[in-house]
Amino acid sequence: MATLEKIRGKAGLLVTVIGVALLAFIVGDLLNSGHTFFRMNQDKVAVINGKRITTEEFQTRVQARTDEMQNMYKRYGMSLPEGSAARINKEVFDQMINEVLLEEEADKLGIAVSKEELADLLQGDNIVPQVKQLFTNPQTGVFDKQVLLNFLNVILNENSPEAQNPETAEQISQQRKMWLDMEKSVKQQRQVEKFFTLMTKSVQANKLDIEAAYQNGKVSADFAYAVQSYSSIPDSTVKISDSELKELYNKEKENFKQDEKRVVKYFSVDIVPSEGDYKITEEKINNLKNTFTTTQDVAGMLSLNTDVPYTDAYVAERSMDTDMKNFVANAQINDVEGPIFVNNAYKMYRLMGKTVAPDSVKVRHIMYPLQKDEQTAAQFDSLLNVLKNGGDFAQLAQKFSVDQSSAQNGGDLGWMTETSAVQLGQKFVNAIFNSNGSGYMTVESPYGRHIVQVTERTAPVAKAKVAQLVMNVRPSSETYSTLYNGVSQYIATNTDVESFEKNAKDKGYIVSTANLTRDDVSLGNINDARQAIKWAFNAKKGAISEIYNVENKFMVAALADVQKEGYADVKQVEPQLKAKLMADKKAEIIMNDLQGKNVKSLDAYAQAMKSRIDTAKFVSFAVNAIAGVGFEPVLTAKAPYADLNTLVGPVKGNNGVYVFSVYNKTENKEPMNADTEKQKYMQSVNQIISSQLINVMKDKAEIEDNRIKFF
């Protein structure tokens, strides 16, 4: 009872404590939910008309495109160029925006692609070019539909032997994903084609359009002219007031819409070797000359010392560079030459061997896994026997070879030199280059067991095997530090934009100015400057950046101005406004001057203009530019309709004041063919629709671009 009385006495406090605890629980839950919501709200690369693109979605697409590009470059023995990452980001971003906008419009209009239609585009009677390209025989140039169907039967059947085989399962999985991505791409492409067709078919030329298009090109004129360029009047003689600038700005304000921009001042310093670095490298290679000359293990010695990997292969002398070719021509086996200095590197050559043999051989193969269990060995031997008894190599390669990239082409590896074949191992090289005839050979490589056939050989040529010891001259850590510290000290003592630009010349730095948008990747001659551009859009006006190490340069930037999205102010577009006003005022000065001289002939005008007489031919209202003149609408508008041998002008053009006289006219006497004119007119209209439709849709869409926060 006493306990109950105590509880009753403290009831108010107890309620308060419980209430606070419940409130803490609820608030905590809300905060956790809010944190999740906040994170979701932040995790968006873009929002297009309310549809979010998450960083994960974007990065997945970017990675897929990067892999695709890397594979393409790899096929040609190249790597992705510098700056590719930022360019791929932009390409994928633009593509994803286009997909959202086009899909949105297509859905509104009920445009769809049926399963039957998609099947027809992928494996039916109307297969799209990108699929055909993958399954076209490179020897015949003919698309093989059966190869496509066989391929699909393998990759889309998860219970197929290839999909169940651990050796090929991963490759099959990747190919399945690639195919499904292509299906999606083809479907979207078809939907877009339908949408564009609907748009273009919704615009038709009427009789007035066709007649006007015909008349615009019906008459062309040849004329003689004289021009006084606006540059003949010094800018200093023309006064432009602030009120005139403001008046023109207000008149043409709609032309000055801009995206959000940043104006940066920047300079870069090349990270190059010092004189000391050249001397050190030369000493290093000279110290190795005796070892390079006498060693019995050239490959081992070079693996530790050279910047160019040693290739144990014979190379046609005709394909060598001049220095190596000259060395080989006069050298005996094991002779050494060098060091010589070429292309910022010190080199030594050692002749390892000479021979006369085919430069290239054409090879096809069937590859089996390396595992040597009895079943695999029996299959391998059985396959070899089938071939020796007349079996179809191409069909057997497609069916049994684990090298899927060549299997689709009947096992064909194409033409191979010793250098290109080395990747398959020295045994493989020896087998294909030391054999005669076209019989079947078996050989092992690091990748598997091969049945190989040489189908063609080039004529024998002089070849040599040359070992190269190459040492590139690189900036030392001391040189690197000296250059870096110089830039670091400069930005430490020049902490505002004005001094950053003003004092650069004294230190040998050249400051440039760049106007940047969110889409930009490069900065002047620096192709991959995305990190600096990202900094500019997240920094405050007047800030100085960190030092960026890009493309073998140290680069630093200062944020000079922040220009918001909307209309550029008068100051920003003042150069454009001044140029237009300057041209107008100079035209007025020239025309008043000519009027005061009361000249009556083209020769007299040319003299008064301190110019000469030139000619222009075949000028009609339909042409965009005149040869030798450029874009001058006043001439294309007046010349075709001027009277013969009559002086016209002075007239104000884009580049100067013109006076001209038409001396010949050519008129198309053929009657108008309405169908032909309509076709030409609609072709022009359709090109405009195709090129501008996406831009118009983007202008009307609500697009929130947050890439600069992430990439």
| Residue 530, H or E segment | helix 530-538
**Minimal CA–CA distance to 351: which of 378, 328, 384, 323?**
328
pLDDT confidence of residue 460: 92
Residue 417 belongs to domain with CATH number: 3.10.50.40
pLDDT confidence of residue 34: 46
Block residue for tokens 């033409």: 415
In terms of domains, do 313 and 388 share one?
Answer: no
The structural domain count of the chain equals: 6
Q: Dump pLDDT digits (tens) for 240-283.
A: 898 989 999 898 888 888 888 899 999 999 999 999 999 999 99
**Minimal CA–CA distance to 570: which of 247, 268, 295, 289?**
247
pLDDT confidence of residue 76: 65
Average the pLDDT over each of 44-53, 385-394, 549-558 and give the range with the smallest value: 44-53
Question: How many Cβ atoms from other residues are within 10 Å of residue 417's Cβ?
Answer: 20
Tell me the pTM.
0.63
pLDDT confidence of residue 75: 64
Answer yes or no: is 672 within a domain: no
Answer yes or no: is 378 within a domain: yes
Q: What is the mean pLDDT of the chain?
A: 84
Q: Dump pLDDT digits (tens) for 650-680.
A: 999 988 999 999 888 877 777 777 777 777 7
Residue pair 433/454 in contact (Cβ under 8 Å)? The answer is no
Q: Dump pLDDT digits (tens) for 606-636.
A: 888 888 888 888 888 777 788 878 888 888 8
Long-range contacts from 85-88, C-beta under 8 angstroms, 24+ separation: 85/528, 85/530, 86/521, 86/528, 86/530, 86/711, 87/521, 88/62
Last residue of a domain, which of 396, 425, 457? 457
Average the pLDDT over each of 172-181, 229-238, 323-332, 473-482 and give the range with the smallest value: 172-181
In terms of domains, do 316 and 366 share one?
Answer: no
Answer yes or no: is 106 within a domain: no
Task: Point out which residues pair with 512 in neighbouring strands.
Answer: 266
Last residue of a domain, which of 413, 430, 457? 457
Q: Dump pLDDT digits (tens) for 558-578.
A: 999 998 888 888 888 888 899
In terms of domains, do 554 and 592 share one?
Answer: no
The two tokens of residue 358 are 């085919």
In terms of domains, do 541 and 619 share one?
Answer: no
In terms of domains, do 397 and 370 share one?
Answer: yes
Confidence of residue 285 (pLDDT cuts 50, 70, 90): very high
53 or 684, which is more confident: 53
In terms of domains, do 435 and 483 share one?
Answer: no
In terms of domains, do 325 and 351 share one?
Answer: yes
Answer yes or no: is 695 within a domain: no
Answer yes or no: is 55 within a domain: no
Helix ranges restricted to H, 135-168: 145-155, 161-164
**Minimal CA–CA distance to 397: which of 409, 389, 380, 384?**
409
In terms of domains, do 149 and 233 share one?
Answer: no
In terms of domains, do 420 and 494 share one?
Answer: no
**DSSP secondary structure string for all residues of 441-469:** EEEEETTEEEEEEEEEEPPEEEEEEEEEE
In terms of domains, do 542 and 611 share one?
Answer: no
Range of the domain at 559: 260-272+476-564
Q: Dump pLDDT digits (tens) for 438-462.
A: 889 999 988 888 999 999 999 999 9
pLDDT confidence of residue 86: 78
Answer yes or no: is 91 within a domain: no
Average the pLDDT over each of 19-23, 268-272, 497-501 and give the range with the smallest value: 19-23
Q: Is the pLDDT of residue 168 over 80?
A: no
Answer yes or no: is 698 within a domain: no
Question: How many Cβ atoms from other residues are within 10 Å of residue 209's Cβ?
Answer: 15
678 or 533, which is more confident: 533
Last residue of a domain, which of 649, 667, 685? 667
In terms of domains, do 374 and 443 share one?
Answer: yes
Answer yes or no: is 83 within a domain: no
In terms of domains, do 521 and 485 share one?
Answer: yes
